[in-house]
Copies of this chain bind each other. A is one copy, B any other.
Amino acid sequence: MLESINLQSNVAVFAQIENEVRFAIASGQLGAGDKLPTVRAVAEQLDINPNTVAKAYRDLEIMGLVYSRRGMGIFICDNVEAKCQSECYSEIIGKIHEVVAEAKAAGMRDTDVKRITKKCFASDTTPYETPPKAIMALLKK
C-alpha cells in the first residue's frame, strides 16, 4: 500500500503517508476495522524515522479516521468512507483549480489539459512519483 511514497519529493513524508491512507479509505481499499501496518514495519520498509510514521498515524487519529488499541495496533474507524471521500474530493478539486489556473497563465488551452488528463487516467502513474528529474529540480514547492 505504501509503494508510492517518494522520499525525494517536496511533499513531506508524513503527509504522503496520511494521504495514502485517506485515499485508500476513500476508494474502499481500506474499510472499517482494517488494521494498519505497524509503525515499526512501515518505518523499516521505507527506511524512515519511526517518529514520522507515528506522526502520520496520530494525525489520522486526530482527524477521526483511525483509532488505536494499545498493544493491538491501529484500526480504521467505522463510517469514515463517505467523510473521507468528501474531504479528499474537495482537496483534489482545490488542486485541480490551482493547476488549471497555472496552465491558463502559461498559455495552455482547454483541449490541451483535457488531452493530458485523459492520458493520465489511462496510464498508471502514482502520486508523488517524481516527474522528469529536471523538472523536479526547477519545481520548488
Q: Which residues of A contact B (CB under 8 A)?
A: 4, 7-8, 10-13, 15, 18-20, 22-24, 26-28, 59, 61-64, 67, 69-70, 77, 79, 85, 87-108, 110, 113-114, 116-118, 120-121, 125-129, 131-141
> Does B62 lie within 8 Å of A128, measured CB to CB?
no
Question: In whole Å, how far is A31's beta carbon from the nearest beta carbon of chain B?
Answer: 13
**Known contacts A106-B27, A138-B91; A116 and B101 CB within 8 A of each other:** no
> Does A99 lie within 8 Å of B95, measured CB to CB?
yes
A selection of 17 A-B contacts at a CB cut-off of 8 Å is A8-B67, A11-B141, A15-B141, A23-B106, A26-B105, A27-B107, A59-B140, A63-B139, A64-B133, A87-B135, A94-B135, A94-B136, A94-B139, A95-B99, A96-B99, A98-B127, A100-B121
Distance A28 CA – B107 CA, assembled complex (angstroms): 8
Number of chain copies forming the complex: 4
Which of B26, B62, B101 is A62 in contact with, Cβ under 8 Å? B62
Question: In whole Å, how far is A50's beta carbon from the nearest beta carbon of chain B?
Answer: 13
What are the residues of chain B within 8 A of A28 when measuring CB–CB?
A: 107
> Does A134 lie within 8 Å of B64, measured CB to CB?
yes
Kindly report which residue of chain B lies nearest to residue A122, judged by CB atoms. B110
Distance A99 CA – B90 CA, assembled complex (angstroms): 12
> Does B102 lie within 8 Å of A127, measured CB to CB?
yes
